[in-house]
Amino acid sequence: MPELPLDVPDWVQDAVFYQIFPDRFARSARVAKASGLEPWPDPPTVHGYKGGDLLGVVEHLDHLERLGVTAIYLNPIFQSASNHRYHTHDYHRVDPMLGGDDALRELLEAAHERGLRVVLDGVFNHASRGFLQFNDILENGENSAYLDWFTVHRFPLNAYDGGDIGYDAWWNLPALPKFDTATPAVREFLWGVGEHWLRFGIDGWRLDVPNEIDDEAFWQEFRRRCRAARDDCYIVGEIWEEADRWLQGDQFDAVMNYPLARAIYGFVGRSFADNEVARSGIRKLDRVDAPTFADDLGDLLTRYPKAVVHAQMNLLDSHDTPRALTILNGDLAALRLAYLLLFTLPGAPCIYYGDELGLTGGHDPASRGTMPWQAPETWDEALLGYLTQLTGLRRERAPLRRGDTSVLAAKGEVVVFARDHEAERLVVMVNAGEKAAPVPSTAGLRGRYRDLLGGGEVLLGSGGARLPARSGWVLEGLGD
């Protein structure tokens, strides 16, 4: 595909993201707590609050920095009557349970001092029953001044019992009335929210279900306003499938790369938690061999312009899926291979909070458990060390962040690809199979190499090099 004149923020391709669900990450004693919180270690529930807050994030930035994180993606933080805060009451106020605007300001200052970016979740397709303009309709019916902010079909509205609710709502959920974004006042309001928080100091927006605002002009103006407020802000959309129409340089910079996650799982996984996966947007996973994975990878690397590919938010899991280790039925070897691919392919890798410690959990709400800060004996220190090694390798080696990507060989369950940047080349090999396998001769590799993960030396081209079962190398050439 010919490269388009894109202005994707340069910093994103160097980023390592960390997604935080604020209610479940950390509590700070500096934020007043409601009396009805669930005990922190107990399993999460659909509606219960744990009491995590933004100052709790501030107090654990050392953990993120040691892990090698350079950017934080926060699930919604605006005032809401839900623990996930996708039911927004006030778009101009950080939820007091999270510490309010002052807590966000402190988080931004502390993060930026460490070189960490902060991206917020923007829920602009729908609001909530408690949103002022919709609440006005509930109170005043046909006399409301805000009837054109939503699509109302009949009165009285049925805002709690379901069935025929009388207005358009996301997935017909009465708690989530859908904005009528054809209304000029609604458009101006939402564009203004985007601008406001960028001027406040955030570094970008992750857009919730943006494809459901099926209006290119809306998103084009959203981008223009946001870039006028902050010229290097990152705009990434939650779109689960192909996203060509939104990635032409006039709407989003990138999307959450769920297609890559599916491809990686299919290649490295031995089996999957099918029932849990089916409940999420991933829907279904099938095992694939190396040639099929290489074909999938080739499509993902060429579908969009290079600047977009390098700005994709690459992830294995999120608040909307089961956790990665659960998807893989507890297979740690597969999880390590999945992360190896995630960190060596182009795009910005994103770690879902707690995955680095080995947290498990099925679909929502089980995937939204609390961080076990008080129980470090439960942490998977080996996994934490491995992910820290991967973030460090990516930080130190420009080809893994900015290099061109070429698949050199794919045979059986072994894939080999190169990352080239300027005069530096790194070669990544992954054997997803249960047996050691020779390096495919079709890769055309000869000479001495050093494995940057294990530190050992590998001689290629002699016919004797075999990649151990379910393992991977990141190789740097040492000459003949």
Q: What is the pLDDT of residues 364-388, one digit of tens each?
A: 999 999 999 999 999 999 999 999 9
Q: What is the pLDDT of residues 407-466, one digit of tens each?
A: 999 999 999 999 999 999 999 999 999 999 999 988 899 999 999 999 999 999 877 789
**How far is it, in rounded angstroms, from Cα 410 to Cα 439?**
10
The per-residue pLDDT for 465 is 85
Q: What is the DSSP string of 38-70?
A: PPTTSPP-SS------HHHHHTTHHHHHHHT--
Which element (helix H / strand E) includes 309? helix 306-309
3-state secondary structure of 103: helix
**How far is it, in rounded angstroms, from Cα 463 to Cα 465?**
6
The per-residue pLDDT for 48 is 98
Residue whose structure tokens are 């623990």: 83
pTM of this prediction? 0.97
The per-residue pLDDT for 247 is 96
The per-residue pLDDT for 162 is 72
Q: Write down the CATH number for the domain with range 403-479.
A: 2.60.40.1180
Q: For a pLDDT cut of 70, what percent of the chain falls above it?
A: 99
Q: What is the pLDDT of residues 261-278, one digit of tens each?
A: 999 999 999 999 999 999
pLDDT of 296 strictly over 50 = yes
Angstrom CA distances, 91 to 79, 206, 416, stand at 7, 15, 47
3-state secondary structure of 416: strand
**How far is it, in rounded angstroms, from Cα 93 to Cα 129?**
17
Q: What is the pLDDT of residues 225-259, one digit of tens each?
A: 999 999 999 999 999 998 999 999 999 999 999 99
Q: What is the pLDDT of residues 150-175, one digit of tens each?
A: 999 999 999 998 789 999 999 999 99
CB 369 within 8 A of CB 414: no
pLDDT of 2 strictly over 80 = no
3-state secondary structure of 254: strand
**Domain residue limits, the chain:** 10-125+179-396, 403-479
Which element (helix H / strand E) includes 92? strand 88-94
pLDDT of 325 strictly over 60 = yes
The per-residue pLDDT for 313 is 98
Residue 134 burial class via C-beta count within 10 angstroms: exposed 0-12, middle 13-18, buried 19 and up = buried
pLDDT of 479 strictly over 80 = no
**How far is it, in rounded angstroms, from Cα 261 to Cα 27?**
31
The per-residue pLDDT for 222 is 98
3-state secondary structure of 22: helix
Instruction: Output DSSP code: residue 358.
Output: T
pLDDT of 142 strictly over 70 = yes
**How far is it, in rounded angstroms, from Cα 303 to Cα 409?**
20
Beta strands (DSSP E) in 95-195 are 117-122
**How far is it, in rounded angstroms, from Cα 105 to Cα 54?**
10
pLDDT of 362 strictly over 60 = yes
Confidence band, pLDDT 50/70/90 cuts, at residue 4: very low
Structural fold of domain 10-125+179-396: TIM Barrel (3.20.20)
Angstrom CA distances, 461 to 115, 273, 294, stand at 43, 39, 22
Which element (helix H / strand E) includes 406? strand 404-411
Closest CA to 146 of 174, 183, 175: 183
**How far is it, in rounded angstroms, from Cα 133 to Cα 89?**
10
Residue numbers annotated as active site: 208, 238
The per-residue pLDDT for 251 is 97
Query: Which tokens sit at 169?
Result: 């709502």
CB 25 within 8 A of CB 371: yes
132: phi then psi, degrees, rounded to nearest 5 = -50, -50
**How far is it, in rounded angstroms, from Cα 281 to Cα 318?**
11
**How far is it, in rounded angstroms, from Cα 22 to Cα 98?**
8
Query: Which tokens sit at 53?
Result: 């807050």
The per-residue pLDDT for 480 is 65
Ramachandran category for residue 44: left, alpha or beta (phi over 0 → left; psi -120 to 50 → alpha): beta
Residue whose structure tokens are 């340069």: 10
CB 82 within 8 A of CB 121: no
For residue 201, the tally of other CB atoms under 10 A from its CB is 15
